[in-house]
Amino acid sequence: MSDIALIGVDWGSTSVRAFAIARDGAIRETRRTDDGVFARRGGFAARLTALLGEWPEDAPVLMCGMIGSDRGWIQAPYVPAPAGVDDLAKHLVPAPYDRPVFVVPGVSSVDAKTCEVMRGEETIVMGLEIRDTLVCLPGTHSKWVEVADGRITRFRTYMTGELRKLVLDHGALAVEDAQIESAAAFSEGLAAAESGLTNALFQGRARRLLGRLQAAHTASFVTGVLIGDELRHERAVTTLILAAHGDIANGYDAALAHAGRSRKVVESETAVANGLWRIAQAARLA
């Protein structure tokens, strides 16, 4: 492990991913835990120590994600868009620790009609090393990010993941039955989204009552409705990059295929590690 030049940490709301990155930018080891920012209160220094374990103590640590939020370890600012690697590197915030630890700032986008913020997604986008395109970043708060000349210029947020959990945990569509993934129910949800979000969600309730939707397929239907609503508002661009990890990547990929949208699917975990490496290099940390 002596060639480790940087410890990169993506510390989100629910989970943490840590990467031991070598001097050539290669990932030597990855660690994952469910000890996200919201998992318990404070104690971030001790939690970081436990996460790092025996990794080299002379390697600086660069963190991104909700760890830099008002509910995290230390609040990092939002850099206004347009923002690229150099802009993020100039605004790193040190954390109180017994070795060099820094937090990547978020990015904001404000115009006459909207206010947007992101924290963590900016590092993924920088890790993609793209010039001019649209990037879809699914998650608790899904982002659709416009990139021009390698810099984040504008973006839009959809509370898809958070709303999905709320709808399935509370109210008319709350589920008690074990859920079974259903491609058919997912497709029906995508189609129903064309009628508008709240109307489409209520259709899930009506279809269950009328025997047209199995209770065990409710989650698939709701997921289809919520992703379909995103796509309904993001029709302008037909070609995009989908940066995601695991099952959520499969769901968005299927939705984009259903809509006839051309896309390139990229692993977001690799991208966030590369983004941390690029920002560290720009800040002369590695």
pLDDT score for 201: 97
Q: In a 3-state reduction of DSSP, which class is residue 77?
A: coil
Q: Does any domain span residue 79?
A: yes
Q: Determine the pLDDT at residue 174.
A: 94
The string of pLDDT tens digits covering residues 1-45 is 579 999 999 999 989 999 999 999 999 999 999 999 999 999 999
Q: What is the pLDDT of residues 38-76, one digit of tens each?
A: 999 999 999 999 999 999 999 999 999 999 999 999 999
Of all helices (H) and strands (E), which one includes residue 223? helix 218-233
Residue 284 is assigned to a structural domain of this protein: no
Calpha distance 238→63 (Å, rounded): 33
Would residue 146 count as lying in a domain? no
| CATH number for the domain harbouring residue 15 | 3.30.420.300
Residue 23 forms part of a structural domain: yes
Contact 202, 238 (CB under 8 A): no
| Residue range of the domain that includes 117 | 4-128
Token code pair at residue 96: 């109180």
| Helical packing angle, 183-192 and 218-233, nearest 10° | 40
- Indicate the number of domains in the chain: 1
pTM exceeds cut of 0.85: yes
- Please report whether residue 20 resides in a domain: yes
Q: Burial letters for 162-183: b for 16+ Cβ neighbours within 10 Å, e otherwise?
A: ebbeebbeeeebebeeebeebe
Helix (H, G, I), strand (E, B) or coil at 243: strand
Backbone φ and ψ for 252, nearest 5 degrees, come out as: -70, -40
Residue 277 lies in a domain: no
